[in-house]
Chains A and B, each alone.
Chain A
Amino acid sequence: MTGEKTKTVPYTVPVGPIHPALKEPVMFTFTMEGEQVRDVDFAPGQTHRGIEWMGMRRNPVQIVHLTDRICGICGLVHSLAFARAVEQVAEIEVPARADYIRTIMGELERIQSHLLWAGVAAHELGFDTLLYLSWRVREQAMDLIELISGNRVNYAMIQIGGVRRDITPEQIPKIRELLSTYKGLQEKLLQIFLRDASITLRCRDHGILSPQMARDLCVVGPTARASGIRMDVRVDYPYAAYGDLEIEPILPDRLTGEIRGDVYDRIIVRLLEIPQSIDIIEQCLAAMPEGNIIWEPKLAKLLLTLKKAKGEAVGRHEAPRGEVLHYVRMDGKESPTTWKVKASSYSNLMSWIPMLRGEQIADIPIIVASIDPCLSCTDRVAIVRGTGRSIMTKEDLHRLSVEKTRRLQR
């Protein structure tokens, strides 16, 4: 926080820790001059759950299921990155078919995540019709994910050494059907988002992140690409089935011929990544090899191998929001000695500061949402009521949920 809270210019405007304009718990402190943001500071960790601490007391197979629950939107990215790290430590070879299934699921997830974001962005702009439209079409991706994995979120597809469920021949026509539906929608989505006068006015040249700033702040994913940084783990660093595919990073100049690094460019990148994902899934379906889907289906055997594993490794994956990285160190014990989760938004949050400086107060929500922040939550809930602030613990929440379940059961 820069300076004291004052009642004279510059004003201090707090936004958060929970605020209707933000979809995630984060505390912003804006220093305002009239309508203009002079400076901004933020404090994450409003709901830090200590997942890494929990993981260091569990065995790797348990952690896989914990990683599924790190993020409510990306159920696969963390488990994939974690599994890849552990597989390297234990020198486990993943069957090629499993790599393809991982890739297909990763891309289905990207489609639903980008559509979800498109809806949120529309909502932040006050364009709720578009929110409903985006989320309606997103449901089709969710249905397909449910068909393959059995669940809309927390898919539990990844296991160390492979995947837990195969993609059956009967599912393939369904996947293709979805892909062609989305192909048909693509033009419409681009038309609505990019040729709309008010979206263009609100987003063009707002929330600019220069390429230099993006490099300096180690920004990742669509946020980096929208600023012209040619960076995509899927392309740069061959892993899973991505190394077999013909893909290129998507930069906004593909559509407009220029890169401005503003909110509008971030919309372009995400919207164009949906057809890219469709293309990747098609390539995967065409080339998918036969064979096993997991290195060792028996958990006891797998755990025995993991217990003996010693070493350290990093597992990376390009999540919908950018690079996810898990560092794992195992010392021949049941639980890993160290587990560090680096989510994509971890790298992206700092970019808020240069983006928001000099912007109008009304543009704060869309700029904040433009990096697609994901501050997954729930250990603690802060309750702000009047002037007081108190914390609800996990026990309180647990008790409330048990009580609610009982009530519903009646």
Chain B
Amino acid sequence: MTGSPTAPQVPDRLTAPAVLEHFTTRFGAGVTAARVQERREGAKKNPNYNLWMDLDRPLLKDAIRELQTLGPVHLSVISGTDMGETIRLIYTLSLYYGVRHGEYTVNFAVSLPKNDLTIPTISDLIPGAVFTEREKQEMLGITVTGIPDNRGLFLPDDFPKGVYPWRKDETGIPDSMVKNLWEVRRPKGRPAPAVTVAEGKGECAISEKEIVEPAEKPKAAPKKPAGKEAEGAGRTASPPAAKEKDSPGKPAAPPAAGKEVPAPPAPVKKEEVKKE
């Protein structure tokens, strides 16, 4: 692989408006909106350019192919917005990288009607696109036809089917799945600290214990997704699973019962004695 740096050979680099014009002449009415965004920063105000084009859905691959004939193309990411009736996908690419001050960001936007959320894969043109296409499938619920790898990407295996985090309609994240951290608060009748440092027990021993308990908990917890209640119940009942079955009434008690109830591990009691 020894050799000279692969400096892109771009003999006749088009200006940003010329790139736009190239596409509007090539695809005519297929380009429904087009604009060049110029931005000047720093003290010398050298310009950078972002090109935006709205395309008819069937033209997407042709447009990317066309872009690749102009110069070196890099795909950054595909973004998507739920616009209500449609889902708008924005393919953010860049053209002419490797040319000092010569790179343009090129954004192709296509709209997918909600009754036909399909788009062909572009991974045959840009193999690296699979990663971001997989993400769009799981986040927006679209179908990328011909995608070589159809698995999820970021969402956990147990994430409910038919829920798409970026959607703003009924398939978006329902309120029942939202956990507000501020609502967690401290549990009522909270457990006293497990062990004090003064007792000379190492930090490790403590955290070890604490991690062990909740590890068993979620078996019960996920079925009650709502914040506080499940949380409180899970905690008081957590240590031995048997206890949970024995006393289903217990979780109701804590407010009245106060500190004594939830203190499961032995060291806690010691601490309480101390305090009192």
Question: Is B206's CB under 8 angstroms from A407's CB?
Answer: yes
Contacts of B11 on A, CB cut-off 8 Å? none
Q: Is residue A94 within 8 Å, beta carbon to beta carbon, of the partner chain?
A: yes
Contacts of A53 on B, CB cut-off 8 Å? 165-166, 173
Of the residues A218, A338, A395, A404, contact of B128 by C-beta under 8 Å:
A218
Q: Is residue B200 within 8 Å, beta carbon to beta carbon, of the partner chain?
A: no
Question: Is A236's CB under 8 angstroms from B98's CB?
Answer: yes
Q: Is residue A349 within 8 Å, beta carbon to beta carbon, of the partner chain?
A: yes
Q: Which residue of A lies closest to B96 (CB)?
A: A236
Interface size class of B (residues with CB under 8 A): 35 or more
Of the residues A219, A338, A393, contact of B81 by C-beta under 8 Å:
A338
Given contacts A390-B218, A407-B194, contact A217 B100 (CB under 8 A): no
B225 nearest CB across to chain A (Å): 10
Chain B residues 209 to 230 lying within 8 A of chain A, measured CB to CB, are: 210-212, 214-219, 221, 227
B230 nearest CB across to chain A (Å): 9
Question: Is A236's CB under 8 angstroms from B156's CB?
Answer: no
Q: Which residue of A lies closest to B100 (CB)?
A: A235
Q: Which residue of B lies closest to A216 (CB)?
A: B127
Interface size class of A (residues with CB under 8 A): 35 or more
B40 nearest CB across to chain A (Å): 8
Q: Which residue of A lies closest to B92 (CB)?
A: A314
CA distance A264 to B103 in the complex (A): 29
Question: Is B1's CB under 8 angstroms from A314's CB?
Answer: no
Q: Is residue A363 within 8 Å, beta carbon to beta carbon, of the partner chain?
A: no
CA distance A400 to B212 in the complex (A): 12
Q: Is residue A48 within 8 Å, beta carbon to beta carbon, of the partner chain?
A: yes
Question: Is A216's CB under 8 angstroms from B128's CB?
Answer: yes
Contacts of A394 on B, CB cut-off 8 Å? 179, 181, 184
Question: Is A410's CB under 8 angstroms from B196's CB?
Answer: yes
Comparing B20-28, B45-53, B252-260, the segment that makes contact with chain A is B45-53
Question: Is A396's CB under 8 angstroms from B39's CB?
Answer: no
Contacts of B158 on A, CB cut-off 8 Å? 391
Comparing B57-65, B72-80, B113-121, B242-250, the segment that makes contact with chain A is B72-80
Contacts of A385 on B, CB cut-off 8 Å? 212, 215
Of the residues A88, A244, A340, contact of B79 by C-beta under 8 Å:
A340
Of the residues A48, A261, A408, contact of B155 by C-beta under 8 Å:
A48
Given contacts A228-B3, A314-B105, contact A410 B197 (CB under 8 A): yes
Given contacts A243-B101, A399-B235, A406-B193, contact A99 B41 (CB under 8 A): yes
Contacts of B45 on A, CB cut-off 8 Å? 243
Question: Is A392's CB under 8 angstroms from B215's CB?
Answer: yes
Chain A residues 6 to 25 lying within 8 A of chain B, measured CB to CB, are: none
Chain B residues 153 to 181 lying within 8 A of chain A, measured CB to CB, are: 153-156, 158, 165-166, 173, 179, 181
Q: Which residue of B lies closest to A405 (CB)?
A: B193
Taken residue by residue from 253 to 267, chain A's Cβ proximity to chain B (1 for < 8 Å, 0 otherwise) reads as 100001111000000
> Could you list 16 A-B pairs, sorted by A, with CB under 8 Å?
A44-B154, A52-B166, A208-B1, A238-B47, A238-B101, A249-B98, A259-B5, A312-B90, A316-B105, A327-B79, A383-B211, A392-B214, A395-B184, A395-B227, A399-B187, A408-B197
Shortest Cβ-Cβ A-B pairs, 4 listed: A45-B154, A218-B128, A243-B46, A236-B103
Q: A88-B39, A406-B193 are in contact. List 10 more A-B contacts (CB 8 A).
A: A228-B6, A244-B42, A261-B1, A313-B37, A337-B81, A395-B179, A395-B184, A396-B214, A402-B186, A403-B210
